[in-house]
Amino acid sequence: MKAIKLGQPAGLDQLKMVDIADPGEPGPDQIRVKIHASSLNFHDLGVALGHIPADDGRIPLSDGAGVVEAVGAGVSDFKVGDHVVSTFFPDWLDGQPAIANFSTTPGDGVDGFASEYVVRSATAFTKAPEGYSHAEAATITTAGVTAWRALIDNGGLKAGDTVLVLGTGGVSIFALQIAKAMGARVIATSSSDKKLERVRQLGADHTINYRTHPEWSKQVLEFTHNRGVDHTIEVGGPNTLNQSIQATRIGGHIALIGVLTGVSGEIATVAMMARQQRLQGLIVGSRRQQSDFVRALESSDIKPVIDKSFPLEKLPEAFALQKAGGHFGKIVIEF
Protein backbone atom coordinates (compact mmCIF):
# COMPACT_ATOMS: atom_id res chain seq x y z
CA MET A 1 0.00 0.00 0.00
CA LYS A 2 1.01 3.63 -0.44
CA ALA A 3 2.26 5.84 2.37
CA ILE A 4 4.46 8.87 2.88
CA LYS A 5 7.48 8.67 5.15
CA LEU A 6 9.74 11.39 6.51
CA GLY A 7 13.47 11.04 5.99
CA GLN A 8 16.29 12.52 8.03
CA PRO A 9 17.40 15.24 8.25
CA ALA A 10 13.77 16.33 8.12
CA GLY A 11 12.42 18.78 5.56
CA LEU A 12 9.65 19.03 3.02
CA ASP A 13 11.94 17.55 0.39
CA GLN A 14 12.36 14.49 2.65
CA LEU A 15 8.69 13.51 2.43
CA LYS A 16 8.68 10.53 0.09
CA MET A 17 5.90 8.31 -1.24
CA VAL A 18 6.75 4.66 -0.57
CA ASP A 19 5.21 1.20 -0.76
CA ILE A 20 4.84 -0.45 2.64
CA ALA A 21 3.31 -3.69 3.87
CA ASP A 22 -0.43 -3.82 4.38
CA PRO A 23 -1.23 -3.81 8.12
CA GLY A 24 -3.43 -6.89 7.76
CA GLU A 25 -6.45 -7.84 9.80
CA PRO A 26 -7.25 -6.31 13.19
CA GLY A 27 -6.51 -8.17 16.38
CA PRO A 28 -8.63 -8.13 19.53
CA ASP A 29 -10.01 -4.66 20.36
CA GLN A 30 -8.65 -3.25 17.09
CA ILE A 31 -10.21 -1.96 13.87
CA ARG A 32 -8.91 -1.74 10.32
CA VAL A 33 -9.63 1.61 8.65
CA LYS A 34 -9.31 2.71 5.03
CA ILE A 35 -8.04 6.28 5.37
CA HIS A 36 -9.63 8.77 2.99
CA ALA A 37 -8.53 12.15 4.37
CA SER A 38 -6.30 14.05 6.76
CA SER A 39 -5.84 17.71 7.59
CA LEU A 40 -2.72 19.73 8.32
CA ASN A 41 -1.91 21.29 11.67
CA PHE A 42 0.93 23.44 12.94
CA HIS A 43 2.19 20.41 14.88
CA ASP A 44 2.37 18.35 11.67
CA LEU A 45 4.33 21.10 9.96
CA GLY A 46 6.76 21.21 12.88
CA VAL A 47 7.40 17.48 12.50
CA ALA A 48 7.81 17.75 8.72
CA LEU A 49 10.32 20.59 9.05
CA GLY A 50 12.28 18.88 11.83
CA HIS A 51 11.39 21.49 14.47
CA ILE A 52 9.75 18.65 16.39
CA PRO A 53 12.10 15.65 16.28
CA ALA A 54 10.64 12.39 14.96
CA ASP A 55 12.10 9.02 14.10
CA ASP A 56 13.56 8.39 10.66
CA GLY A 57 10.85 6.91 8.46
CA ARG A 58 7.97 8.28 10.52
CA ILE A 59 4.62 8.36 8.72
CA PRO A 60 3.29 11.89 9.38
CA LEU A 61 -0.15 13.46 9.98
CA SER A 62 -2.03 13.35 13.25
CA ASP A 63 -5.57 13.52 11.78
CA GLY A 64 -7.21 10.64 9.93
CA ALA A 65 -10.73 10.01 8.70
CA GLY A 66 -12.04 7.00 6.83
CA VAL A 67 -14.19 3.86 6.79
CA VAL A 68 -14.02 0.79 9.03
CA GLU A 69 -13.18 -2.27 6.91
CA ALA A 70 -12.90 -4.89 9.66
CA VAL A 71 -13.32 -5.17 13.43
CA GLY A 72 -11.45 -7.41 15.83
CA ALA A 73 -12.80 -9.53 18.64
CA GLY A 74 -14.29 -7.54 21.50
CA VAL A 75 -15.03 -4.39 19.49
CA SER A 76 -18.57 -3.13 20.13
CA ASP A 77 -18.34 0.60 19.34
CA PHE A 78 -17.89 0.15 15.60
CA LYS A 79 -19.06 -2.02 12.73
CA VAL A 80 -17.87 -2.47 9.15
CA GLY A 81 -18.84 0.55 7.06
CA ASP A 82 -18.79 3.09 9.90
CA HIS A 83 -17.24 6.46 9.12
CA VAL A 84 -14.66 7.25 11.80
CA VAL A 85 -12.13 9.91 12.75
CA SER A 86 -8.94 9.50 14.78
CA THR A 87 -8.11 10.97 18.18
CA PHE A 88 -4.98 12.99 18.96
CA PHE A 89 -4.16 11.17 22.22
CA PRO A 90 -5.25 7.56 21.60
CA ASP A 91 -4.78 6.54 25.25
CA TRP A 92 -6.44 9.58 26.86
CA LEU A 93 -10.02 8.41 26.94
CA ASP A 94 -11.59 10.67 29.60
CA GLY A 95 -10.93 12.66 32.74
CA GLN A 96 -8.09 15.02 33.48
CA PRO A 97 -5.11 15.35 31.09
CA ALA A 98 -3.06 12.17 31.24
CA ILE A 99 -0.01 13.02 29.13
CA ALA A 100 2.42 15.92 28.77
CA ASN A 101 4.20 14.91 25.58
CA PHE A 102 3.54 13.58 22.08
CA SER A 103 4.88 10.07 22.56
CA THR A 104 1.51 8.53 21.62
CA THR A 105 0.39 11.15 19.10
CA PRO A 106 0.02 9.86 15.52
CA GLY A 107 2.49 11.46 13.14
CA ASP A 108 4.91 12.24 15.97
CA GLY A 109 5.59 9.59 18.62
CA VAL A 110 3.91 6.89 16.51
CA ASP A 111 3.07 6.58 12.83
CA GLY A 112 0.31 8.82 11.57
CA PHE A 113 -2.30 8.77 8.84
CA ALA A 114 -0.42 9.56 5.62
CA SER A 115 -1.13 5.97 4.54
CA GLU A 116 -3.93 4.14 2.77
CA TYR A 117 -4.82 1.73 5.60
CA VAL A 118 -4.22 1.50 9.35
CA VAL A 119 -4.96 -1.03 12.07
CA ARG A 120 -5.34 0.64 15.46
CA SER A 121 -7.05 0.23 18.79
CA ALA A 122 -10.77 0.91 18.47
CA THR A 123 -10.44 3.51 21.23
CA ALA A 124 -8.11 5.52 18.94
CA PHE A 125 -11.17 6.59 16.92
CA THR A 126 -14.62 8.05 17.39
CA LYS A 127 -17.55 8.08 15.01
CA ALA A 128 -17.35 10.87 12.44
CA PRO A 129 -20.19 13.42 12.47
CA GLU A 130 -23.16 12.28 10.39
CA GLY A 131 -23.34 14.14 7.10
CA TYR A 132 -19.66 15.09 7.11
CA SER A 133 -17.37 14.20 4.22
CA HIS A 134 -14.13 12.46 5.11
CA ALA A 135 -12.23 15.71 4.48
CA GLU A 136 -14.56 17.61 6.81
CA ALA A 137 -14.32 14.93 9.50
CA ALA A 138 -10.52 14.97 9.34
CA THR A 139 -10.45 18.60 10.52
CA ILE A 140 -11.92 17.89 13.95
CA THR A 141 -9.21 15.66 15.50
CA THR A 142 -6.84 18.49 16.35
CA ALA A 143 -8.27 21.90 15.46
CA GLY A 144 -11.91 21.24 16.24
CA VAL A 145 -11.43 19.43 19.55
CA THR A 146 -8.93 22.06 20.71
CA ALA A 147 -11.44 24.86 20.13
CA TRP A 148 -14.24 22.86 21.74
CA ARG A 149 -12.26 22.04 24.86
CA ALA A 150 -10.98 25.62 25.19
CA LEU A 151 -14.41 27.22 25.03
CA ILE A 152 -16.78 24.56 26.40
CA ASP A 153 -14.93 22.22 28.79
CA ASN A 154 -12.35 24.67 30.09
CA GLY A 155 -14.09 27.98 29.45
CA GLY A 156 -17.71 27.23 30.28
CA LEU A 157 -18.84 29.40 27.37
CA LYS A 158 -22.42 30.64 27.59
CA ALA A 159 -24.75 32.72 25.49
CA GLY A 160 -23.96 36.42 25.67
CA ASP A 161 -20.23 35.94 26.32
CA THR A 162 -17.67 37.67 24.12
CA VAL A 163 -14.84 35.67 22.54
CA LEU A 164 -11.60 36.95 21.01
CA VAL A 165 -9.99 34.75 18.35
CA LEU A 166 -6.50 35.47 17.05
CA GLY A 167 -5.86 34.82 13.36
CA THR A 168 -7.74 32.68 10.87
CA GLY A 169 -6.20 29.23 11.29
CA GLY A 170 -8.14 26.06 11.94
CA VAL A 171 -8.51 26.44 15.73
CA SER A 172 -9.55 30.08 15.54
CA ILE A 173 -12.13 29.49 12.81
CA PHE A 174 -13.63 26.55 14.70
CA ALA A 175 -13.71 28.70 17.86
CA LEU A 176 -15.55 31.44 15.97
CA GLN A 177 -18.12 28.95 14.69
CA ILE A 178 -18.63 27.29 18.09
CA ALA A 179 -18.97 30.67 19.81
CA LYS A 180 -21.57 31.92 17.33
CA ALA A 181 -23.52 28.64 17.58
CA MET A 182 -23.61 29.12 21.37
CA GLY A 183 -24.95 32.67 21.11
CA ALA A 184 -21.69 34.47 21.90
CA ARG A 185 -20.23 37.57 20.28
CA VAL A 186 -16.86 37.27 18.50
CA ILE A 187 -13.98 39.64 17.85
CA ALA A 188 -11.42 38.38 15.32
CA THR A 189 -7.94 39.56 14.37
CA SER A 190 -5.84 39.09 11.23
CA SER A 191 -3.15 40.90 9.28
CA SER A 192 -5.26 40.58 6.10
CA ASP A 193 -8.30 42.73 5.36
CA LYS A 194 -9.41 40.08 2.87
CA LYS A 195 -9.40 37.42 5.58
CA LEU A 196 -11.20 39.77 7.96
CA GLU A 197 -13.97 40.14 5.40
CA ARG A 198 -14.31 36.35 5.33
CA VAL A 199 -14.56 36.07 9.11
CA ARG A 200 -17.28 38.72 9.06
CA GLN A 201 -19.14 36.52 6.59
CA LEU A 202 -18.81 33.68 9.13
CA GLY A 203 -20.44 35.84 11.78
CA ALA A 204 -17.63 37.78 13.50
CA ASP A 205 -19.15 40.84 15.15
CA HIS A 206 -15.97 42.94 15.09
CA THR A 207 -12.62 42.59 13.32
CA ILE A 208 -9.17 44.11 13.85
CA ASN A 209 -6.19 44.26 11.51
CA TYR A 210 -3.28 43.80 13.89
CA ARG A 211 -0.82 45.23 11.36
CA THR A 212 -2.78 48.47 11.31
CA HIS A 213 -3.40 48.32 15.08
CA PRO A 214 -0.34 46.69 16.71
CA GLU A 215 -1.79 47.46 20.16
CA TRP A 216 -5.01 45.73 19.21
CA SER A 217 -6.14 45.30 22.80
CA LYS A 218 -7.22 48.96 22.69
CA GLN A 219 -9.66 48.20 19.88
CA VAL A 220 -10.96 45.18 21.80
CA LEU A 221 -11.62 47.37 24.82
CA GLU A 222 -13.43 49.90 22.63
CA PHE A 223 -15.66 47.18 21.19
CA THR A 224 -16.46 45.88 24.70
CA HIS A 225 -17.04 49.29 26.33
CA ASN A 226 -13.75 48.97 28.22
CA ARG A 227 -14.76 45.67 29.84
CA GLY A 228 -12.67 43.22 27.82
CA VAL A 229 -13.67 39.82 26.43
CA ASP A 230 -14.72 36.84 28.50
CA HIS A 231 -12.59 34.32 26.57
CA THR A 232 -9.46 34.68 24.46
CA ILE A 233 -8.25 31.97 22.09
CA GLU A 234 -4.52 32.66 22.33
CA VAL A 235 -2.67 30.92 19.49
CA GLY A 236 0.23 33.33 19.12
CA GLY A 237 2.20 32.77 22.30
CA PRO A 238 4.74 35.14 23.88
CA ASN A 239 4.48 37.99 21.37
CA THR A 240 0.70 38.23 21.62
CA LEU A 241 -0.06 37.09 25.17
CA ASN A 242 0.50 40.48 26.79
CA GLN A 243 -2.01 42.06 24.42
CA SER A 244 -4.41 39.22 25.18
CA ILE A 245 -4.08 39.91 28.91
CA GLN A 246 -5.03 43.54 28.32
CA ALA A 247 -7.91 42.54 26.03
CA THR A 248 -9.45 40.03 28.46
CA ARG A 249 -11.79 41.16 31.22
CA ILE A 250 -11.06 41.07 34.92
CA GLY A 251 -11.60 37.44 35.93
CA GLY A 252 -11.62 36.34 32.29
CA HIS A 253 -10.30 33.19 30.67
CA ILE A 254 -7.31 32.92 28.31
CA ALA A 255 -6.83 29.58 26.54
CA LEU A 256 -3.13 29.26 25.67
CA ILE A 257 -3.07 27.00 22.64
CA GLY A 258 -0.32 28.00 20.23
CA VAL A 259 3.27 29.16 20.02
CA LEU A 260 3.22 30.73 16.56
CA THR A 261 5.40 33.63 17.75
CA GLY A 262 7.89 31.55 19.74
CA VAL A 263 8.24 29.31 22.76
CA SER A 264 9.29 31.83 25.41
CA GLY A 265 9.18 35.53 26.20
CA GLU A 266 8.44 38.15 28.85
CA ILE A 267 4.89 37.93 30.20
CA ALA A 268 3.09 40.67 32.14
CA THR A 269 2.38 38.42 35.11
CA VAL A 270 1.56 41.35 37.41
CA ALA A 271 -1.09 42.59 34.99
CA MET A 272 -2.60 39.11 34.76
CA MET A 273 -2.55 38.77 38.54
CA ALA A 274 -4.12 42.19 39.05
CA ARG A 275 -6.84 41.33 36.53
CA GLN A 276 -7.35 37.98 38.31
CA GLN A 277 -7.44 36.11 35.02
CA ARG A 278 -7.28 32.38 34.40
CA LEU A 279 -4.57 31.37 31.92
CA GLN A 280 -4.91 27.72 30.93
CA GLY A 281 -2.59 25.86 28.62
CA LEU A 282 -4.06 23.01 26.63
CA ILE A 283 -3.23 20.56 23.88
CA VAL A 284 -6.26 19.14 22.04
CA GLY A 285 -8.37 16.89 24.31
CA SER A 286 -9.62 13.47 25.31
CA ARG A 287 -11.65 10.91 23.37
CA ARG A 288 -14.71 11.79 25.45
CA GLN A 289 -14.34 15.47 24.57
CA GLN A 290 -14.10 14.54 20.89
CA SER A 291 -17.26 12.43 21.14
CA ASP A 292 -19.05 15.35 22.83
CA PHE A 293 -17.91 17.64 20.02
CA VAL A 294 -19.15 15.21 17.37
CA ARG A 295 -22.60 15.16 19.00
CA ALA A 296 -22.65 18.95 19.11
CA LEU A 297 -21.73 19.18 15.44
CA GLU A 298 -24.56 16.81 14.56
CA SER A 299 -27.05 19.14 16.25
CA SER A 300 -25.71 22.32 14.63
CA ASP A 301 -25.09 23.65 11.15
CA ILE A 302 -21.32 24.04 11.68
CA LYS A 303 -19.24 22.85 8.76
CA PRO A 304 -15.43 23.16 8.70
CA VAL A 305 -13.89 25.85 6.52
CA ILE A 306 -11.57 24.09 4.07
CA ASP A 307 -9.22 26.32 2.10
CA LYS A 308 -7.69 23.78 -0.29
CA SER A 309 -7.42 20.04 -0.84
CA PHE A 310 -4.38 18.11 -2.08
CA PRO A 311 -3.86 14.45 -3.03
CA LEU A 312 -1.53 12.42 -0.81
CA GLU A 313 1.38 12.59 -3.25
CA LYS A 314 1.21 16.41 -3.09
CA LEU A 315 1.71 16.52 0.68
CA PRO A 316 4.97 18.54 0.39
CA GLU A 317 3.11 21.18 -1.64
CA ALA A 318 0.32 21.28 0.94
CA PHE A 319 2.85 21.85 3.72
CA ALA A 320 4.50 24.60 1.66
CA LEU A 321 1.16 26.42 1.44
CA GLN A 322 0.68 26.02 5.18
CA LYS A 323 4.18 27.31 5.89
CA ALA A 324 3.56 30.39 3.73
CA GLY A 325 0.50 31.20 5.84
CA GLY A 326 -1.74 32.10 2.93
CA HIS A 327 -4.57 29.73 3.83
CA PHE A 328 -7.85 30.45 5.60
CA GLY A 329 -9.18 27.66 7.80
CA LYS A 330 -7.95 24.15 7.03
CA ILE A 331 -5.79 22.49 4.37
CA VAL A 332 -6.79 18.87 3.76
CA ILE A 333 -5.30 15.80 2.13
CA GLU A 334 -7.70 13.44 0.32
CA PHE A 335 -6.89 9.98 -1.00
Say if CB 58 and CB 46 are below 8 A apart.
Answer: no
What is the pLDDT confidence band of residue 117, given thresholds at 50, 70 and 90?
very high
Say if CB 274 and CB 249 are below 8 A apart.
Answer: no
Question: Largest alpha-carbon pair distance within the chain?
Answer: 61
Q: How far apart are CA 99 and CA 283, in angstroms?
A: 10
Task: Give pLDDT tens digits for 41-64.
Answer: 999 999 999 999 999 999 999 999
Provide mean pLDDT across the span 90-108: 96
Provide mean pLDDT across the span 184-196: 97
SS3 4: strand
**CATH annotation of 145-281:** 3.40.50.720
Q: Is the pLDDT of residue 315 over 80?
A: yes
Q: Tell me the torsion sign for CA atoms 114, 14, 23, 314.
A: positive
- Give the angle subtended at the CA of 332 by the CAs of 163 and 100, to the nearest 5°: 60
Buried b / exposed e across 177-202, counting CB within 10 Å, b at 16+? bbbbbbebbbbbbbebeebbebbeeb
Provide mean pLDDT across the span 242-253: 98
Q: What is the mean pLDDT of the chain?
A: 96
State the pLDDT at residue 260. 64
Classify domain 2-141+285-334 at the CATH class level. Answer: alpha beta
Residue 151: closest CA among 167, 170, 171, 129: 171
| Residue 312 CA from chain centroid, whole number | 20
Other Cβ atoms closer than 10 A to 308: 15
Task: Give pLDDT tens digits for 256-304.
Answer: 997 766 667 788 889 999 999 999 999 999 999 999 999 999 999 999 9
Say if CB 58 and CB 44 are below 8 A apart.
Answer: no
Q: Does the predicted TM-score (pTM) go above 0.85?
A: yes
Domains 2-141+285-334 and 145-281 share a fold: no
Share of the chain above pLDDT 70, in %: 99
Residue 170: closest CA among 71, 286, 257, 277: 257
User: Where exactly are the structural domains of the chain?
Assistant: 2-141+285-334, 145-281
SS3 255: strand
